[in-house]
Structure 1
Amino acid sequence: MAVTAQIPIGEYLHTSYRPDCDYIDGEVVERHVGKTDHARIQALLALWFGMHEQEWHILVTTEHRMRVSETRVRIPDVTLVRPGALTEDVLTHPPLCCIEILSPEDSYSQIREKCRDYRLMGVENIWLIDPSTRSGQAAIPQGWQDTLEFGIPETPIRLSLEDLFARLDRSLA
């Protein structure tokens, strides 16, 4: 990721970037822009969770700024929140779930640092989806668990990666 500038957080929070950038300890940091698989999976996730918003008592957002600490703002690919949580432009309370879709340019250390920031903020459900390997990982208290079925305990919220990847493949055929 390329560092584009060093500015106070207040200036960052009042500035728009295209595409939007993370803010890490005074630096505005470019995020990898999703390519076809990334963009399509993000759209499919928004559609899937959007169809279930009322039933599951959630709201879905994409690329929503989230202040994970006093000096850091992250932008998850997809975020699930409870109704009433979207009263602020930049989320400051932990969402129900953050979903990251890996891009070929993402490094292991970059994505783990981002997920560590989510965990330190208090996000309990963090999901990683890798379109290139057609795999997923869920953050659990002991570390990371490979899975093709995501779910949030004690809720009806679920996601089948097999179904998601099948829809992706059909859309690219």
Structure 2
Amino acid sequence: MIEPIVKVLHKPPVLCIEVLSPEDRWRRVLERVRDYQQMGVQAVWIINLRSRDIWIAGHAGEPVLHEEESLTVQGTPVQLPVTEIFAFSDEAPLGDDPDSE
């Protein structure tokens, strides 16, 4: 059963995904990850499209570099091949140059 979309969260989502922008700083990203963890989020994926790196943070602890072929959320059917993330991002410009459109 699909739950309705709510404007205010009353329970934590299973997964939060942070896609880094050029302006993001690691310290600020870690602050957001800790906020998610304190909220009770089970998993956080941090994706850097430029470097093609992905870090995974569980419900506690620091993010670790992900080196497997698929992203999963333990105890759920969520599974996403890493190649699909980067294939999707390759189709869209990263927005560095406003004149490149």
Q: C-alpha displacement at 1:89, in angstroms? A: 1.3
* Identical counterparts, % of pairs: 32
Name the one with the larger strand percent.
Answer: 1
2:71 to 150, 154, 166: 150
Q: What's the secondary structure of 1:92's corresponding residue?
A: coil
What runs of 5+ residues in structure 1 fail to find an aligned partner?
A: 1-56, 58-82
Are 1:98 and 2:19 an aligned pair?
Answer: no
What runs of 5+ residues in structure 2 fail to find an aligned partner?
A: 94-101
Q: C-alpha displacement at 1:163, in angstroms? A: 2.2
For the residues of structure 1 that align with 2:56 and 2:4, how far apart are their CA atoms?
23
Q: Give the count of matched residue pairs.
A: 90
Aligned positions of 1:1-173 closer than 5 A: 83-84=2-3, 86=5, 88-140=6-58, 141-148=60-67, 149-169=70-90, 171-172=91-92
Q: C-alpha displacement at 1:131, in angstroms? A: 0.6
List structure 1 runs of 4+ shifted beyond 4 angstroms.
none
TM-score (norm: length of structure 1): 0.47
TM-score (norm: length of structure 2): 0.76
Q: Tell which structure's C-alpha radius of gyration is larger.
A: 1
